[in-house]
Amino acid sequence: MDYVYGPGRNHLFVPGPVNIPEPVIRAMNRNNEDYRSPAVPALTKTLLEDVKKIFKTTSGTPFLIPTTGTGAWESALTNTLSPGDRIVTFLIGQFSLLWIDQQQRLKFDVDVVESEWGQGANLNILSSKLSSDRAHTIKAICIVHNETATGVTNNLATVRKLLDQFNHPALLLVDGVSSICAIDFRMDEWGIDVALTGSQKALSLPTGMGIVCASPKALEASKTAKSVRVFFDWNDYLKFYKIGTYWPYTPSIQLLYGLRAALDLIFEEGLDNVIARHNRLGKATRLAVEAWGLKNCTQKEEWFSDTVTAVVVPPYIDSAEIVRRAWKRYNLSLGLGLNKVAGKVFRIGHLGNLNELQLLGCLSGVEMILKDVGYPVKLGSGVAAAAAYFQNTIPLIPSRI
């Protein structure tokens, strides 16, 4: 029952789910437990405290919901907003599109600010919308920190600045699915009201836990938000937080122990070192793309993503064939181009539990595939560019010195 088995390791370079560290796999290798025993709440307590650190918040309240990123989105929206509420939201790629689709189906009044795919959120338009919204009809700004489909990172600090500039009370809801634990994220400093991620992204766990963090203002909003919700209702969680048993329904015991191990590893490496490592991997990937003479789907450096790079292929190549071939011939998993960029880009995910030599192996594979499909790349060119950068930047592994 190992459909994908080939000799050696699968090279997993989709932008999620990502490689799980061996210690986390070990931590999850266990039988079920009674989640009403004293042990699981004791464990949960440490998790709720420590998970705040990956959001860089001290005032936020986290929820570890047995769901995916899509569910985390729904939790963020339905707990803070009421049907008909006006929200400003940015369409810049497939995942922001899906979130917008959800916002519309949840019956909000969705004000979409669209950009060309490959560009970041148009904050000028946000600025003018905020400036003209003296009546504060905008109840929330919804923004994807990192658009996984195009490899575009939005500038959240600027969003906060605009809100402050216009003294606008709109809630700031942020999808940090492919950024948190990998790209600098500062919930408190940037005044984010709801931040969320999924376990299978930079946290490097299996899929199955949506991690949502709510500011005091968001919690306050949840008291009056009229969106219908039960499974995703924060209040059910808060009720159990108060009595110290934490769970309104059954959590995954394995994911709880896995999260404990994942956080321990991140703290051992140091969150800032983790972020620096992602920056190193991202930059090296971009240097390789440049060396290959290919274009980054992301149009400006200010939006470059340190977790995923969408590579534009020449018009005579079908990027889906690159992904197929990667899997079939090299046991390499790359990301497809989605929707508007289907066939036009392939994606290299470089997030989560990953190191430099793994990425170089991936890049050497991409080079071979590019040649396979008729693109005149010089083998070794991208690897050389990336390696040269690594050599100047990679630190010794601290625990080994």
Burial bucket for residue 134 (CB in 10 Å: 0-12, 13-18, 19+) = exposed
Closer to a second copy at the Cβ: 102 or 158? 102
| 400 lies in the site for a second copy, by CB under 8 A | yes
Q: Which of 113, 332, 351, 373 binds a second copy (CB under 8 A)?
A: 332
Amino acid identity at 393: T
| 372 lies in the site for a second copy, by CB under 8 A | yes
Q: Which of 2, 272, 316, 376 binds a second copy (CB under 8 A)?
A: 2
According to the 3-state scheme, what is the secondary structure of 87-114? EEEEECCHHHHHHHHHHHHCCCEEEEEE
What distance in Å separates the CA atoms of residue 52 and residue 30, rounded to the nearest whole number?
Answer: 26
Closer to a second copy at the Cβ: 62 or 248? 248
Q: Which of 92, 174, 297, 387 binds a second copy (CB under 8 A)?
A: 387
| 12 lies in the site for a second copy, by CB under 8 A | yes
Minimum distance, C-beta of residue 340 to a second copy, in the bound complex (Å): 17
What x-and-dash track marks residues 304-323 binding a second copy by CB under 8 A? --------------------
H helix or E strand, kind and range, residue 372: helix 356-372
Closer to a second copy at the Cβ: 156 or 354? 354
| 208 lies in the site for a second copy, by CB under 8 A | yes
Q: Do 116 and 127 form a contact (C-beta atoms < 8 A)?
A: no
Q: Do 108 and 86 form a contact (C-beta atoms < 8 A)?
A: yes
What distance in Å separates the CA atoms of residue 393 and residue 323, rounded to the nearest whole number?
Answer: 30
Closer to a second copy at the Cβ: 125 or 238? 238
Closer to a second copy at the Cβ: 190 or 234? 234
Q: Tell me which residues in 135-194 interact with a second copy (CB under 8 A).
A: none
Residue 331's contacts (CB-CB under 8 Å, 6 or more residues apart) are 4, 6, 7, 8, 9, 10, 11
| 328 lies in the site for a second copy, by CB under 8 A | yes
Q: Do 62 and 213 form a contact (C-beta atoms < 8 A)?
A: yes
Residue with tokens 């990953």: 354
Structure-token pair, residue 113: 């600010």
| 94 lies in the site for a second copy, by CB under 8 A | no
What distance in Å separates the CA atoms of residue 284 and residue 30, rounded to the nearest whole number?
Answer: 38
Provide the H-helix boundaries in 148-232.
156-165, 216-222
Q: Tell me which residues in 34-53 interact with a second copy (CB under 8 A).
A: 34-40, 42-43
- Give the DSSP letter of residue 117: B
Stretch that binds a second copy, among 116-124, 155-163, 184-192, 392-400 (CB under 8 A): 392-400
Q: Tell me which residues in 16-35 interact with a second copy (CB under 8 A).
A: 16-23, 25-35
Q: Tell me which residues in 96-135 interact with a second copy (CB under 8 A).
A: 101-102, 105-107
Does residue 186 have a known ligand-binding role?
no
Q: Tell me which residues in 251-290 interact with a second copy (CB under 8 A).
A: 251-255, 257, 260-261, 264-265, 268-269, 274, 277
| 301 lies in the site for a second copy, by CB under 8 A | no
Minimum distance, C-beta of residue 58 to a second copy, in the bound complex (Å): 24
Q: Which of 148, 285, 319, 353 binds a second copy (CB under 8 A)?
A: 353
Helix (H, G, I), strand (E, B) or coil at 160: helix
| 383 lies in the site for a second copy, by CB under 8 A | yes
Peptide bond into 17 cis (omega under 30): yes
What x-and-dash track marks residues 228-247 binding a second copy by CB under 8 A? xxxxxx--------------
Closer to a second copy at the Cβ: 57 or 227? 227
The DSSP code sequence of 325-343 is: HHHHHH-EE-BPP-GGGTT
Adjacent-strand bridge partners of 62: 213
What distance in Å separates the CA atoms of residue 138 and residue 129, rounded to the nearest whole number?
Answer: 9
Q: Which of 137, 250, 302, 374 binds a second copy (CB under 8 A)?
A: 250
Minimum distance, C-beta of residue 84 to a second copy, in the bound complex (Å): 12
Instruction: Name the binding residues for substrate.
Output: 347
Instruction: Name the binding residues.
Output: 347
